[in-house]
């Protein structure tokens, strides 16, 4: 991610890291003009997110047009995330019948699209190689679970943590509030964007100490220059699950989008069978299993090629000018798998979180002593 934070919360990294400890101290010290609760909230969120080394979950994603109680789009997915790798298998149920095999590693994503072919029992395949930040799936559990500042669906940019937003964006302030009868800390950031009539994209985040300072609500607002278009996305975590002692992850998230003050669409994501830090390896196949002759568009290198029998580009790549035609082949069912029996790392996770929060608290106490001595 930005500012060399990839090893902290991005697609690569190790747990725990010296960089994470240093970042917590810097972030806590950088808000000296704000109330101490800000430092504690941001440090707590960083510790909570940073302690997730592996994530497995099943995702159900639905889209409801405004005024409808019946979704017009449904897909499900099996999702895995570990340091240096993200793997997802997404299956369209309603509104689409496309299956998406998604893999991110080494700073790139490889995506395999599988659609029903023109003949019964056949299907069409085509693949894409692109930047790791290109939005390709609906069921990114890390993004839907508000493990960072929410992005618009079309944004091809990293998901920043709250701590990274403090470094990168303008911090407007914080208040203590109650949300659903629970005490929370409300933070406001502004991302400068030249095209907006306001100062930029406004992020309002609510952090909940009862779930280890995870984001429980987010509001993202954006204006365009002529003031004829204003969009507001509200993300609400309806419920959390304590997956392992002291470690939480959402079980349901609802996003409500408004355009010019009118309800436009609602998205609902549900997470089940979630495992945090207790599975060492992806419980389903990491390989995309694209057969020979599958066409791939390489958006990074600007080429089109077809896979050879060895799974590597076959023949001479051609310049990328238009989408490569999909290859139609016979149908082959994909296997379904379940996670293996987990190996516990609870002690490591809790110890790491305790160390980070202790360091943040120490910084706050030290700043108080300096302020009192200055008086």
pTM of the complete model: 0.78
Tell me the C-alpha distance between 70 and 62, whole Å.
9
Contact 325, 295 (CB under 8 A): yes
pLDDT attached to residue 326: 55
DSSP bridge pairs for 111: 102, 128
SS3 call for 54: coil
Per-position b or e across 149-177, b if 16+ CB within 10 A of its CB: bbbeeeeeebbbbbbbbbbbbebeebeee
Q: Which of 245, 247, 246, 182 is nearest to 216 (CA)?
A: 182
pLDDT attached to residue 136: 94
Residue bearing tokens 């995330």: 81
pLDDT attached to residue 18: 43
Tell me the C-alpha distance between 102 and 90, whole Å.
8
Tell me the C-alpha distance between 63 and 70, whole Å.
9
pLDDT attached to residue 199: 72
Residues of the chain with pLDDT under 50: 1-24, 27-28, 30-33, 323-324, 328-370
- Domains, the chain, in order of start with CATH, read 2-50+348-374 (no CATH), 56-340 (2.50.20)
> Rg of the Cα trace of the chain?
22
Per-position b or e across 241-262, b if 16+ CB within 10 A of its CB: bebbeebbbbbbbbbbbbeeee
Of how many residues is the chain composed? 375
Residues with Cβ < 8 Å from 289, sequence gap 6 or more? Answer: 101, 112, 334
SS3 call for 29: helix
- For 23, the enclosing helix (H) or strand (E) is helix 18-29
Residue bearing tokens 């079309």: 154
- For 80, the enclosing helix (H) or strand (E) is strand 73-82
pLDDT attached to residue 313: 85
């Amino acid at each position: 991610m930005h500012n060399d934070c990839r090893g902290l919360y991005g697609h690569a990294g190790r747990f725990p890291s010296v960089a994470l400890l240093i970042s917590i101290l810097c972030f806590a010290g950088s808000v000296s003009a704000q109330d101490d609760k800000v430092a504690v909230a941001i440090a707590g969120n960083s510790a909570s997110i940073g302690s997730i080394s592996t994530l497995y979950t099943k995702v159900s994603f639905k889209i409801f047009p405004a005024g409808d109680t019946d979704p017009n789009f449904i897909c499900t997915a099996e999702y895995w995330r570990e340091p240096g790798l993200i793997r997802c298998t997404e299956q369209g149920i309603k509104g689409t019948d496309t299956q998406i095999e998604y893999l991110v590693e080494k700073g790139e994503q490889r995506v395999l699209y599988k659609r029903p072919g023109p003949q019964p029992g056949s299907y069409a395949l085509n693949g894409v190689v692109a930047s790791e930040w290109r939005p390709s799936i609906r069921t990114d559990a890390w993004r839907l679970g508000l493990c960072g500042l929410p992005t618009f669906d079309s944004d091809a940019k990293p998901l920043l943590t709250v701590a990274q937003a403090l470094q990168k964006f303008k911090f407007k302030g914080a208040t203590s509030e109650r949300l659903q009868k629970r005490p929370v800390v409300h933070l406001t950031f502004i991302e400068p964007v030249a095209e907006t009539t306001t100062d930029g994209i406004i992020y309002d985040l609510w952090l909940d100490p009862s779930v280890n300072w995870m984001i429980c609500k987010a509001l993202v607002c954006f204006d365009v220059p002529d003031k004829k278009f204003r969009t507001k996305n509200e993300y609400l975590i309806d419920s959390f699950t304590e997956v392992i002692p002291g470690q939480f992850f959402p079980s349901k998230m609802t996003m409500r989008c408004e355009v010019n003050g009118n309800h436009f669409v609602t998205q609902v994501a549900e997470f089940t069978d979630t495992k945090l830090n207790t599975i060492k390896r992806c419980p389903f196949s990491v390989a995309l299993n694209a057969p020979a002759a599958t066409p791939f568009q390489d958006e990074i290198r600007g080429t089109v090629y077809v896979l050879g029998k060895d799974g590597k580009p076959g023949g001479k790549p051609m310049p990328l000018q238009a989408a490569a035609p999909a290859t139609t082949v016979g149908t082959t069912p994909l296997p379904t798998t379940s996670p293996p029996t987990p190996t516990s790392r609870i002690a490591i996770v809790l110890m790491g979180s305790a160390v980070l929060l202790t360091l943040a608290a120490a910084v706050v106490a030290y700043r108080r002593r300096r302020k009192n001595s200055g008086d």
